[in-house]
Structure 1
Amino acid sequence: MSQDITNINQSITLFQQGLARQTHFSGYYLLNADIINLASSATDDFAFSAESGTVWMYESSWYDSGQLVPDQVTPANDELPMVNGTASAGISTSYSRGDHIHPQQLTYDNDITATKFIKTGGTNKQILLANGDTTTLDSKLSRTYNGSAGGWIRLCVFPAGASVGNPFIEFKVYTSYSAVQTIRLVPYYTVNGINTVYRIFTAPTKVSTSYNIDQGVNQLFHNHSGSGTSAVYAAYVRLESAGNITIVVSDQSTYYTNRITEILTQDVVSGVSNGTQIPITYDLANGGIINNMLQVNPTYRSYSTYNNGIRIGNYNTEYSSLYLGCSNSVINTTQLGQWEISKISDRALTINPSSLRQADHSVGLSINSDSSIIKFNGNELVNVGTNQTITGIKSFAGVVSGNSQINPMSDNFNDGLRISRTVESTGSAAIQLGCSRLSNIGQIAGQWIIYTTTSGQAINPLSFKIALASDASDGNRGLQTSADGETLSFNGSVIAGTGASSGASNGSVNYSAGNLILWGANSTDPIGGFYSNGSNICWRAHPLTQGSVPP
């Protein structure tokens, strides 16, 4: 009976609580503001808010109690937690308890970002490999590629930068056929970004006789995207292999390691954007002897001219040549403007444009095998075994040279002949006879000169003169013709023409220091020399019968 009474009392209490709730329940509102603005609210009033999903209570003002609205309470889920998968908002209306545990995921096919990966028992000197193994930092990073189909391999990436600091990385390329190639790269960082990539790229140790690369990589280049401080560079090699090829990071700088990224991370690709090709360095030496061909290509020059190569090689087995102005991208072609100096099959030396090479030496300059004949365009210039004849007029326009002198080497008449100018720009030039063979200036005893005097000479300027070289500067010595060609003088005395001495103004010649022989006048002076008695010409009173003298 007592139990029944107790149950009845509990029922009455629940009924009273429900009635009280109905008395104080103000309703279910969409917004919190709707509840706050309710009129005629009393203490213990409460309301439900759809906006917050909580119960609001009134005690002098409305406030959020934080209690969930009864129909917003989510039940716990007894199902096991799911493994990570594709992201989804989900549709479940239940929750997982706080002590739930997800099953371990062993396979994941997307990128993973984490601050660290820890292997039990690992050390800070080890690297965790993809298969769970570890290797030390001293081990070489490498990757093997299948090169049968060719293609391109990205070696690494040099990210953008805006400060100085140049890292270094070295790769070795191995195949089963050609041993090893070496690639060294140094990106040159500046405050304005990467300027260029310095590099060394060697050919395989074993190459074909024509220097073709049959196994390994045959091209290296770098390209970039962006510019300035945003420029990102990448280095690539082109495969030339019939099988597998292994690339190893053989050396790397410990400085600025963050400036070399994505090392050997990319698979073989069939093509890449164009870039700057890096020439191959061939091992051309063998015991100090350079094999077959050597070419020098100027690079990194801002000049627009003089930027072609110089090649030492051979045209065929009979030729040995020095090529000037050859292409700096290939080693076995002829380009416009290329010249060559060659020793050819008949042992002659030839100089000619490479594009005009002729077997008979009919183009260019050639010297025969015993150096006795020189020809130009097939025309003989010099032949030591024959007398030389120059046909036609040879003009040397605009040529400025020093004195020209001919020195005979025989024992007699062995002084020289000199053609020279005495004083520049004064009208003076000379032919000097009997000059020294040991010097092309000055004078020696017995040297004569035929020349025109200078414009500044006090006596007979610009005259034509023949004199001993020692008297050349004396205006009163030698035989001279005036500049106007009207007067002939000897040792200062006018002997013909205008101004002749002893009244000889009609062109007669004055001989023997004033002892005259004048046609049309008689002289009876018997003292020395010639004289005339009117009918005869006598020498020291010895008559010389010449017939009558005209009156």
Structure 2
Amino acid sequence: MQQQIYGYSQDIGQLQADVIVINTELARQTHFRGYFTTNDEILQLVNPAIGDYAYSAEDLLVWDYDGSQWIETDQIVPDQMTPASDANAQADGTVTAGTSTEYTRGDRIHPLKISTNTPNSDTFSGSVGTSVNYARSDHSHPINISTSIAPQDSASGTVETNASNIPVVNGVGNNGTSALYARQDHIHPQQLTYDGNVTATKFIKTGGTANDVLLADGSTKKSSIAGRSFTVIDPQQYVKLCTILAVYSTTDNSIKFEVSTRTGFGQLQSNQHWTNGQGASEYQYLFIPTLASGVRSAWILYFNDGVDRYGELWCKIDYYSYNTFIYVTEVSAFQGNITNILTTDGQTELPEDYSVIQQLFPNQYSTVMTINPIINGTFNEGIRISRNPTNLWSNIQFGSDPNANVGFIDNQWLIGSTGNNTVNPLGFIIVKAGQEGQSSGLQINQYGNVLYFYGQFTSGNIQINPTDVSYGDGLRIANSPIANVSTIYIGTSTNQSGEIDGQWTIIKRADSSLTICRTADQNTQNRGLQISADGNTLTFNGRVL
């Protein structure tokens, strides 16, 4: 059907079809609820109506509402795409920021703005500036180098070519400058005087080892004869240093060990003397223990008896000594009588099958020692022993344990000066070890004017010869500091305290009265002969006379 309105003709059917399409699209947009990330978000939409639909990004499907529930359809969510751009990308240069409604094509390319001109060659001058071109990947600067041959060394050049001009041998050099370079084959020849196997080009002794020290006369000496490293953390280790074999003749053997630890050094030197027909008869040693850890204890163990006796030197490496190196620097042994030098691994304890064990202490000798003073001085003609800085003791021990440097044993005696922790502080004492803190033994007080033996005077009968001093011409007895009494006991036992039958007391009491009575009655009221404090009343057993 055609109609004409104001001169325009129009197909009415086509117009109706366009209207229907528009209405359908408007209705579709009205029922479209949007894009959602998950299906649960669609299921939770509020007030859905029949015809509503939504797009899910979780499964990329369209969901419809049928009036009672959302239903997942098999329709795929349409892509939101816009046409690809057909415009050419700009070459490198100035760009502007903005927006675009077109997608970039997959084959989009930014053409590079690269110069194809060859760079300038290297030259001594140039200019600093800017360029609008990128360098090519095969860009290079040609080097501007001459192809002519350089001059060779000559006698008139700066390198000495005259073979007769050699460096000065063992001469005195002068500070200065030279116009000549040293040749690449320049050598300072050695000017040495030598004999034997020492040559002009080496200081190596024929047959020598890394352990040999070359002496000036051409002989060698070993820096160490044997050595071994021990790593000790926990537990401690006992190490056999060597075996000293039995010798059936009169001779001496000696060996010296040195110790290096993280806390310093140590040393053990032993000398054994054998007498023909007796075996090991004497020995001496020098022991310097390491400072804080390492080797601080050493022993000599003897096995068998008589002429068959042989010994072993042992030491103990303490806990957490870590790396301890023991090496032998000197050995003087007749016909190899010292063997097994540092060949034994560390042990957890000392052997127990020995005949005799002798612990070695610093600066101790097993032979007789004589002291001959040679300096004519004051109080230095002999042995001087200072006081201990803590308890002030200073003494000599007799009959002590040969295997220990502390403590006492039975029948050990002590001579010396007492400390500040005894009944006779800073005095002199001769006593059995262990009784020095008591009133035992022979003691002299610190002033040197009182002698005691087990707390008693030992000078026999005492006679007092008074001097002409007021109230000092006789025996003076002070009041006791606690009870304020002063007493004379007659007929006592040999003990320092207590009372016996027949013992009498003369006592000045705390109230200043004087009493003469039996010691058994001195604490009983009205016993004995009493004089009042003022000296005016005399009573006997409580009766006034």
Task: Report the TM-score range of the alignment, normalised by the length of the smaller protein.
Answer: 0.3 to 0.5
TM-score by length of 2: 0.36
